[in-house]
């Protein structure tokens, strides 16, 4: 009887330890954009023009800005306006992949709508003033990283 209770007790302790030491499951998706990337970001200036990305709490907007004598202005049309096919235009949800890397995909509600542009996006946050974004296109695959700077 004593051996049986000792065996049952040791099995119970071993079972508890085995269940308690399992690794945590992958993180779930969170709605919106991560707080660390929210705000206005810009690309490096190219001949007085740069892209401006606004990552809001739940949506993204992208515009071109150009510099004139009176300051920076948003370009609304013409050859320098931003092509929506070259950006991520979905209401987003994200998953944190590592300490500084985020994976963004469309929300479940917006996934069935027809949006133009990239289907997924990875963001690598280098510092509080610098991050890189990488787009995924259905026909092409993953693009190259594009560096953004805090505006």
- Which distant-in-sequence residues (6+ apart) come within 8 Å of 123 by Cβ? 34, 37, 101, 102, 103, 104, 131, 132, 133, 134
Residue 139 sits in a domain whose CATH number is: 2.40.128
Asked if the structure places residue 56 within a domain, the reply is yes
Under DSSP, is residue 5 helix (H, G, I), strand (E, B) or coil?
A: helix
Query: Is residue 18 in some structural domain?
Result: no
Task: Show the domain range for 112.
Answer: 25-150
- Say if 127 falls within a structural domain: yes
Domain count, the chain: 1
Is 102 within the bounds of a domain? Answer: yes
User: What pLDDT sits at residue 17?
Assistant: 57
The answer to the question of residue 67 being in a domain is: yes
- Helix, strand or coil, per DSSP, at residue 75: strand
60 located within any domain: yes
Rg (CA), the chain: 23
Taking the mean position of all CA atoms in its chain, how far away is CA 82?
A: 20
The closest of 95, 93, 101 to 28, measured between CA atoms, is: 95
- Report the predicted TM-score, pTM, of the whole model to 2 decimal places: 0.67
DSSP one-letter string for 121-136:
EEEEE-SSSEEEEEEE
**12 falls within a domain:** no
pLDDT value at position 130? 95
Q: Which of 91, 94, 107 is nearest to 29 (CA)?
A: 94
Q: What is the pLDDT along the chain (151 residues), one digit of tens a residue?
A: 676 676 776 766 666 555 555 555 556 888 888 899 898 888 887 776 777 788 888 777 776 677 666 777 776 655 444 555 566 767 788 999 999 999 988 877 766 566 667 788 899 999 999 999 888 887 888 888 888 899 8
pLDDT of residue 124: 94
Q: Is residue 19 part of a domain?
A: no
Classify 89 as helix, strand or coil.
Answer: coil
Residue 111 confidence (pLDDT): 61
Measured CA to CA, the distance from residue 102 to residue 2 in angstroms comes to: 55
């Amino acid at each position: 009887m004593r051996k049986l209770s000792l065996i049952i007790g040791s099995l119970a302790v071993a079972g508890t330890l085995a269940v308690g030491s399992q690794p945590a499951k992958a993180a779930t998706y969170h709605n919106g954009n991560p707080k660390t990337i929210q705000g206005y970001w810009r690309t490096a200036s190219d001949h007085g023009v740069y892209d401006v990305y606004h990552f809001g709490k739940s949506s993204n907007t992208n515009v071109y800005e150009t510099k004139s004598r009176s300051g920076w202005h948003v370009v609304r049309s013409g050859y320098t306006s931003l092509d929506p096919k070259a950006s991520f235009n979905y209401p987003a949800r994200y998953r944190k992949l590592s300490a500084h890397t985020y994976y963004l995909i469309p929300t479940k509600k917006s996934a069935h709508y027809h949006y133009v542009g990239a289907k997924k996006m990875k963001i690598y946050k280098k510092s509080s003033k610098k991050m890189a974004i990488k787009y995924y296109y259905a026909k092409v695959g993953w693009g190259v990283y594009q560096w953004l700077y805090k505006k």
